[in-house]
Amino acid sequence: EAQVTQNPRYLITVTGKKLTVTCSQNMNHEYMSWYRQDPGLGLRQIYYSMNVEVTDKGDVPEGYKVSRKEKRNFPLILESPSPNQTSLYFCASSMMVAQPQHFGDGTRLSIL
Amino acid sequence: KNEVEQSPQNLTAQEGEFITINCSYSVGISALHWLQQHPGGGIVSLFMLSSGKKKHGRLIATINIQEKHSSLHITASHPRDSAVYICAAPYSGGGADGLTFGKGTHLIIQP
């Protein structure tokens, strides 16, 4: 089954404790992206990747890192999480940005 | 950067009504996306279109490239259509960059 898998689905953690949210897709897609969704602000793009070893900043990259060492994986890293990074996060992939995107189920992060 | 505006923000309608959600953007684009977010939070891609019209079941999406405007229509609306509908366009209009999103339209269809 074609899917985008995010882990964990839920996480409560504390300020400053490094965390990684994993994202994996099994569709051989070249384009992958991370979004955060906040009430009143909607979806905003954090980082995206056009292909392996190619990543670019989106609208709100501050406080986040990503890597794309293999085509299928695109982890989101919060080196020193802060409460303003409490949000609902989505990973998505597509063959290219101008193609329909497949979304993961979301990760709800709470930073205390 | 492309600015994407959606209207209305909230819409409540009765079952069977014809629904229209509008999306306008500021920079010419290669393709526009329509997404649906279910009450449980999951997001699915409904349409990606670069010109004209696309239809899938009771959903129809249209785009006017010259006017930088797209609409999503739902015919014979049903309570299961209740969701948030989101449009998205490339940042700078081209096909090789990220996406910027409208804030979404929260649709409720009452039986």
Q: In tens digits, what is the pLDDT along chain A, a chain of 112 residues?
A: 889 999 999 999 999 999 999 999 999 999 999 999 999 899 999 999 999 999 999 889 999 999 999 999 999 999 999 999 999 999 999 988 778 889 999 999 999 9
For residues B21-29, average pLDDT: 89
For residues B102-110, average pLDDT: 96
- For the cut 60, the answer to whether the pLDDT of residue B96 exceeds it is no
What is the model's pLDDT at position B28? 75
Tell me if residue B79 falls in helix, strand or coil: helix
Structure tokens of B53? 């019209």
> Are the beta carbons of B103 and A56 separated by less than 8 Å?
no
Structure tokens of B28? 């010419």
- For the cut 90, the answer to whether the pLDDT of residue B76 exceeds it is yes
Residues of A with CB under 8 A from a CB of B: 33, 35, 40-45, 48, 50, 56, 58-59, 88, 90, 92, 96-103, 105-106
Residues of B with CB under 8 A from a CB of A: 30-31, 33, 35, 41-45, 47-48, 50, 86, 88, 90, 95-104
Number of H helices, E strands in chain A: 0, 11
What is the model's pLDDT at position B93? 54
For residues B3-29, average pLDDT: 93
pLDDT band at B41 (very low <50, low <70, confident <90, very high): confident
Q: Furthest-apart CA pair in chain A: how many Å?
A: 37
* Phi, psi of B25, deg, nearest 5: -140, 160
Q: Which residues 6+ apart lie within 8 Å of B32 measured at CB?
A: B23, B25, B48, B49, B50, B63, B70, B87, B88, B89
What is the model's pLDDT at position B100? 87
A-chain residues near B95 (CB < 8 A): 96-98
For residues B61-90, average pLDDT: 95
First-to-last C-alpha distance (Å) of chain B: 40
